[in-house]
Amino acid sequence: MASFRLAASGDVISDQDGVSSKRQHVDNGVPRIIHQTWRGVQLPEMLQPWLESWVRVNPKWEYWFWTDDDLQSFIAAKYPQFVTLFQGYPSNGYRADVFRYFVLFEYGGVYADLDMECLRPLDSYVDNHTCFVSQEPLVHAHFLSPTGIPLVSNALMACTAGHPFFGAVIDHLKRYAGTFTWNDILHATGPFMLTAEYKAYERGGWFYTNNESIFLSPPEDFNPVVDTSRIDHIRDVCVNSKGGPSMLEQNFDRLDKLCRTVLEEGFRDKPPATSYTHHHWTHLWAGGKYDPLGVFNSRQTFGVEILNKVRRK
């Protein structure tokens, strides 16, 4: 299972302690487990303060850290019928995407990308929502995505174990496999795929029986800051195409306001005090091919076991 598991007490959980998808439930709500994943147990130095924030800000939660090898073992042990699909993805970025859906369905808890920094405790949020997905900023939805509003983010999600939404996402993964989507992680396993699944789940239908609710968090809660590496592109769209292909008549007023914000006012570079996380938009999924903050240029690394010291402070 996970290479590193940290109990709320600060003790490292061994494999002999076992794992249960039920023992962490709080009044049948979201289990107090934080899931994160990386290639191995050594990580680029830039990520350290963001990882530490999850343990420091949520002291009563367990922390489970998964490596690429753990992902393979988990799928083989828990979902052998998906091994062929899982191993057939073009890169580990795709596999890391789909793993988060499987692990939330199996164990529940909170999944967070490594470039998410936790700012506020999550207890009150998960007390009020048994399953929620985060939402990217509106300008991302309008100018960086074909989905329109909302653009559901898979960078932070939380759910009870066995929730039918993530069961549906898992069951439908093969629909997004193929020549076209294989060349685009966003369509095959990432936010564009998850947005399509969220919208279908909300519409309901004969294949969505016994629906349980899922809450769509406002962008300000978990993705309050725009991806600064894409602002120039957004400005170009506003200047050259008056909002691009999404500038339909019914959307004109909203898009015109967004464009005026882009061109005249700019965007906040810090999250408001009400935000639970700060998404730093490092694009780790690109594996260094697109690295606007230089994460992969870091020569220094740290071991995930350092989180044990953070918890014990």
With a cut of 50, say whether residue 126 has pLDDT above it. Answer: yes
Q: What pLDDT does 15 receive?
A: 62
Query: Who contacts 121 (Cβ-Cβ below 8 Å, separation ≥6)?
Result: 57, 58
Section 107-118 average pLDDT: 98
Q: Are 74 and 5 in contact (CB under 8 A)?
A: no
Q: What is the pLDDT of residues 131-148, one digit of tens each?
A: 999 999 988 998 888 888
Q: Which fold has domain 4-225+271-312?
A: Spore Coat Polysaccharide Biosynthesis Protein SpsA; Chain A (3.90.550)
Q: What pLDDT does 244 receive?
A: 46
How many CA atoms does the CB half-sphere of 44 hold within 13 Å? 18
Task: Please name the helix (run of DSSP H) or strand (run of DSSP E) that holds residue 247, with its range, or none.
Answer: none
CA-CA distance, 17 to 184, in Å (whole number)?
39
Q: What pLDDT does 248 receive?
A: 47
Q: Radius of gyration over alpha carbons of the chain, in Å?
A: 19
pTM over 0.85: yes
Q: What pLDDT does 144 receive?
A: 87
CA angle 162, 159, 309 (to 5 degrees): 115
Q: What pLDDT does 299 receive?
A: 86
CATH 3.90.550 boundaries in the chain: 4-225+271-312
Residue 275 tokens, joined: 């935000």
The neighbour count for residue 65, using CB atoms within 10 Å, is 22
Q: What pLDDT does 143 receive?
A: 85
Q: What is the pLDDT of residues 147-196, one digit of tens each?
A: 888 999 999 999 999 999 999 999 999 999 875 666 689 999 999 999 99
Q: What pLDDT does 23 receive?
A: 38
Is the model more confident about 212 or about 157?
A: 157
Residue type (1 letter), 283: H
Q: What pLDDT does 233 receive?
A: 84
Distance, C-alpha 264 to centroid of its chain: 31
